[in-house]
Amino acid sequence: MQGSLALKKNITVTEFIKFLLNETNLKQIKLRFPSQKVERYIWGEVSAYELALSLKPTGYFSHYTAMWLHGLTDQRPKVIYLKCEQLEKPNHQRPLEQKNIDWAFRQRPRKSKNVANYKDQKICLLYGANTGNLGVIETEGTNGERIPVSNVERTLIDISVRPFYSGGVAEILKAYKLAKEKVSIENLLTMLKEMDFLYPYHQAIGFYLEKSGVYEELLIQPFKRLEMQHDFYLSNQMKDVLYSTEWRLYYPKGL
């Protein structure tokens, strides 16, 4: 090492990095997102979670990734979801109308294209509304590293809101079953109210709780007492649907 460097007195940064890559444990990782290419340098090995977090240090892991970290799925997701909350914006929500709900759920969901390949997985960056990182906690990653993740209650809310980042509605229903001993339904309801969605996601969440068959009716009743002024949908572009009159909700046949 010292002999190679001594050959040149005025070595450039580029040359020095190239030398380190060739002669040491330094490694270069290139992530190609649609709008940009990102380079990271690591010493030895780092987990995919640590690498993803280096892109957005204020972000946290959510959706299918959070399901995996909390043991709410037995499927190892091929996509790592890192959510970054945006700056708070003025609320210009219009009154909710049934025709607009129907139109929105007939369309394909808008999915993030901010995705890059890394080894046998993908890293997907999500941008969401500002909640002050509500319900974000620290947990242990696969290599023992400490990483931020949405807690169980927040995860169940998020996956109900964005099922296409969470393995789909059947996988979400399984997550609700597996969450039985890990979740506080009271805290989930409090958090849902605090997030103040325009859409009536309480109808979807209440449906999942009841459909899972593992929660006492006493825990589900508070969701039934919330207003249900509109018909709602469990996901976008569903085919062969059934309708729950109790929850005013369309859901896939066979769920």
Element (H, E) at 38: strand 36-43
Please state, in angstroms and rounded to a whole number, the distance separating the CA atoms of residues 15 and 39. 16
pLDDT, one tens digit for every residue, the chain (255 residues):
444 445 466 788 888 888 888 888 889 999 999 989 999 998 878 899 999 999 999 999 999 999 999 999 999 999 999 999 988 766 666 789 999 999 999 999 999 999 999 999 999 999 999 999 999 999 988 788 899 999 999 999 999 999 999 999 999 999 999 999 999 999 999 999 999 999 999 999 999 999 999 999 999 999 999 999 999 999 999 999 999 999 999 999 999
Q: Which two tokens stand for residue 97?
A: 């109308």
Backbone phi and psi for residue 101, each to the nearest 5 degrees, phi listed first: -65, -50
- In tens, the pLDDT along 8-41 reads 667 888 888 888 888 888 899 999 999 899 999 9
Question: Around Cβ 92, how many Cβ atoms within 10 Å?
Answer: 5
Question: Around Cβ 5, how many Cβ atoms within 10 Å?
Answer: 13
Burial 222-249 (b: 16+ CB within 10 A, else e): ebeeeebeebbbbbeebeeeeebeebeb
Is there a contact between 48 and 80 (Cβ–Cβ < 8 Å)?
Answer: yes
Please state, in angstroms and rounded to a whole number, the distance separating the CA atoms of residues 255 and 251. 8
Please state, in angstroms and rounded to a whole number, the distance separating the CA atoms of residues 220 and 201. 14
Please state, in angstroms and rounded to a whole number, the distance separating the CA atoms of residues 105 and 200. 13
Please state, in angstroms and rounded to a whole number, the distance separating the CA atoms of residues 85 and 97. 27
- Nearest CA-CA partner of 62 in 106, 13, 119, 112: 112
